[in-house]
Structure 1
């Protein structure tokens, strides 16, 4: 027997922006997600792998898997908890702004600290602290889309965020590649950029004060139970979570090891790999920016989300075939262009789709979106371990990472189809 779908909660329009405020918020979100993803990709794909490899070149893949897995476990726990706490925050700066500003400052101090240490465990501890703070900031920042945009405008907002994320991730790798030989400066540039942009965001986009809001009575058992959302009662939420989880399981396994793929699979030197990874990012940048903005606009225009998510996943899976057939620098460049086209479209529409499958009212938006964000963080914890395991089984053959990515990403395209509340 089918489980009846819950009725949609009434939409709170009190914070929805329009006119000039809407455009300021759109560009502020684009810039903030640009610098945040520049930091993530620059650190995870270039700075951290170079720093870890310098400690023990023979064990670099296993050591990087340790750092990333421990970090992602804490990140996974942080995002929904910070989202739930931001829902309950009461201040004259609103619910999300205090988290956006303060957490970014703490994260940036910890990130700079990573550049000053020289052991695997000290690097891990400081990077974990930075990741916890940045995830405590990112959850509330993402919730701004649901808080301040009407559903009909969320595709455009998601497109701006997607363009910022994908372009930032690309530029971050380029910048990090240029600064790979100056780790202290590299970490400092990213840390200062994120802190400055987050503080500016709070002042430019003043949030409605939340002091007058009465929070629901707090109960620790009830608070903990709220993190379980029954997929039988809310199937659309469950399908959206599963689709996002599987696409990132495939995508993250390749991205995390991209520098080592260039060194050991494409057979480039350390210096060549650092240059080529920047070129790959430049190619991806053009496709991501075009695909993200166009897809978000078209999604709002036609009022549909699922076809964009489905076909973008198929395109990403097809991109992973290229390095298997053409294991050269040129093949990696072609892969970068195709995956950029698919991933740009996916990120542009994915956020809008997620805001429309939330099972709770706006009082728990931060927590619910935080739970959906764990569908990204959990793969960040699992995929490096899975990739290291696959590399061990295959004797260091990096082609297995592309095969695994194809299987996961292609499967994800079908999980969006059963969603009934979103077209």
Structure 2
């Protein structure tokens, strides 16, 4: 199956509509992870088993995300029908996510809660895989950095309603768990009603077999090595940032000597500040990166700035330093989101865009589920916090995050062919080339 590469510029309102879908889907996943699942676990298991219970729920969700994103991306590549290739999975995915959230809200025991969270993860990852493929289908190369920036910024903004809902409706688990999933269904229906998604002829699509569906999640890392490097880079960067966000509230309580009611507004305000700078940097960075066609300065600069902000938080108990580092992190992530998805789009075959972008999405969604499992282990390193004392070492948490973020740059020298504008369709390594074959432009 060979599909045409998009060439003509698309209206900005279409990119914004795609970005809005990213916001509601990731926001629906973020709200339970921020507080909803923790509250439900506390209702269902004894106090002594709350950490193990939450770890079981998030681990099961992480596995579901790992498997479902590439599978549904693969299926959307091969979907025929007048409703289009991607829209059926967007609508069905958010609907399934709402079902999972509903069951999780009223689950009578931990086993049902785990099953419900798995259902929700499958649904939203099906939607996210199809959404990324829509970008590959319809956004031309010259607009992809701008679209990448907006996708990343709106995805980060998905944390904002999660925090606001959790704060305003702290006494109602049902509202916390169901608000964003309901919004996601409504927004997805409205956007899918408006956006184009041309159908393809069934005769041009390879037949789907059960064996090929389940092997879709496995990508040979040597076939498209640039894609593999982009995946590793994104996973390390995302994990490094996400792992410190897991215990953000507890960090402020320890380092600044605050209680929970005092620290909670700071978490909300810092998230809003970071989201604002993230959005501004992603929008401006996406515009500049689209014009330059060279993504390397944005990739390297964002990782260095983020690492600086993490190290500032690792060794401070100052509120002023906290705000400065929060602003740096928000700006750095905006610059990064301006190019990370655009880089991936330069490394994947157009004929399997859904499948490969589904695998690429795992590098972003998986850390969000694994971080709550890893963070409690990291803060037990050493002999307590060197700044505030106590038995939890938050300096170690931020140092590990810094190492991961800077470690993501190890891939850059080998990733350089994808950081400069070239042809969109890569040539497989086994065909005699590892990089785009067309002449690279500066």
- TM (norm. structure 2) is 0.85
Match of 2:419 in 1: 422
Match of 1:86 in 2: 76
Alpha-carbon deviation of 1:355?
0.8
- Of 188, 192, 197, which residue of structure 2 is paired with 1:207? 197
Secondary structure of 2:413's counterpart equals coil
Give deviations 1:293-340, integer Å, cap 9, x for gaps.
011111001111222112111111111112222235544433321111
- Of 29, 33, 38, which residue of structure 2 is paired with 1:40? 29
Give deviations 1:261-314, integer Å, cap 9, x for gaps.
344555433323332221111211221111110111110011112221121111
Match of 2:377 in 1: 389
Q: In 2 relative to 1, CA 16–415 (structure 1 residues): closer, same or farther, beyond 3 Å?
A: same
Q: In 2 relative to 1, CA 85–10 (structure 1 residues): closer, same or farther, beyond 3 Å?
A: closer
Are the aligned partners of 1:265 and 1:327 in contact in 2 as well (CA < 8 Å)? yes
Q: In 2 relative to 1, CA 233–36 (structure 1 residues): closer, same or farther, beyond 3 Å?
A: closer
The reply to whether residue 369 of structure 1 matches residue 357 of structure 2 is yes
Alpha-carbon deviation of 1:10?
7.5
- Of 147, 155, 175, which residue of structure 2 is paired with 1:185? 175
Aligned residue pairs, count: 410
- Of 138, 150, 156, which residue of structure 1 is paired with 2:128? 138
Are the aligned partners of 1:162 and 1:292 in contact in 2 as well (CA < 8 Å)? yes
Alpha-carbon deviation of 1:353?
0.8
Alpha-carbon deviation of 1:59?
4.9
Alpha-carbon deviation of 1:58?
5.2
Alpha-carbon deviation of 1:242?
1.0
Are the aligned partners of 2:19 and 2:155 in contact in 1 as well (CA < 8 Å)? yes
Match of 1:229 in 2: 219
Alpha-carbon deviation of 1:154?
0.7
Are the aligned partners of 1:283 and 1:337 in contact in 2 as well (CA < 8 Å)? yes
Match of 1:400 in 2: 396
Secondary structure of 1:311's counterpart equals helix
The reply to whether residue 73 of structure 1 matches residue 69 of structure 2 is no
Secondary structure of 2:418's counterpart equals coil
Alpha-carbon separation, structure 2, partners of 1:178 and 1:330: 26
Please report the RMSD computed on the Cα atoms of aligned residues, expressed in angstroms.
2.5
Alpha-carbon separation, structure 2, partners of 1:16 and 1:110: 39
Match of 1:3 in 2: none
Q: In 2 relative to 1, CA 51–172 (structure 1 residues): closer, same or farther, beyond 3 Å?
A: same
Are the aligned partners of 1:42 and 1:176 in contact in 2 as well (CA < 8 Å)? yes
Match of 1:101 in 2: 91
Give the number of the structure with larger relative contact order, counting CA–CA contacts within 8 Å between residues 6 or more apart: 1
Are the aligned partners of 1:247 and 1:412 in contact in 2 as well (CA < 8 Å)? yes
- TM (norm. structure 1) is 0.88
Unaligned residue ranges in structure 1 (runs of 5+):
1-8
Secondary structure of 1:412's counterpart equals helix
Alpha-carbon deviation of 1:133?
0.6
Alpha-carbon separation, structure 2, partners of 1:101 and 1:137: 7
Alpha-carbon separation, structure 1, partners of 2:79 and 2:328: 42
Secondary structure of 2:400's counterpart equals helix
The reply to whether residue 410 of structure 1 matches residue 406 of structure 2 is yes
Alpha-carbon separation, structure 2, partners of 1:280 and 1:119: 35
Alpha-carbon separation, structure 1, partners of 2:301 and 2:19: 24
- Of 162, 170, 186, which residue of structure 2 is paired with 1:196? 186
Alpha-carbon deviation of 1:232?
3.4
Secondary structure of 2:414's counterpart equals coil
Alpha-carbon separation, structure 2, partners of 1:257 and 1:76: 23
Alpha-carbon deviation of 1:386?
2.6
Match of 1:270 in 2: 260
The reply to whether residue 26 of structure 1 matches residue 15 of structure 2 is yes
The reply to whether residue 253 of structure 1 matches residue 250 of structure 2 is no
Q: In 2 relative to 1, CA 284–60 (structure 1 residues): closer, same or farther, beyond 3 Å?
A: farther
Q: In 2 relative to 1, CA 416–141 (structure 1 residues): closer, same or farther, beyond 3 Å?
A: same
Match of 1:147 in 2: 137
Alpha-carbon deviation of 1:197?
0.8
Alpha-carbon deviation of 1:249?
2.1
The reply to whether residue 356 of structure 1 matches residue 346 of structure 2 is yes
Alpha-carbon separation, structure 2, partners of 1:137 and 1:41: 15
Unaligned residue ranges in structure 2 (runs of 5+):
383-390, 421-442
- Of 49, 67, 82, which residue of structure 1 is paired with 2:38? 49
Q: Compare 239-248 and 123-132 and name the one that shifted more.
A: 123-132
- Of 258, 270, 282, which residue of structure 2 is paired with 1:292? 282
Q: Compare 72-81 and 205-214 and name the one that shifted more.
A: 205-214
Alpha-carbon deviation of 1:47?
2.8
The reply to whether residue 12 of structure 1 matches residue 12 of structure 2 is no
Alpha-carbon deviation of 1:163?
2.3
Alpha-carbon separation, structure 2, partners of 1:303 and 1:210: 31
Alpha-carbon separation, structure 2, partners of 1:266 and 1:118: 38
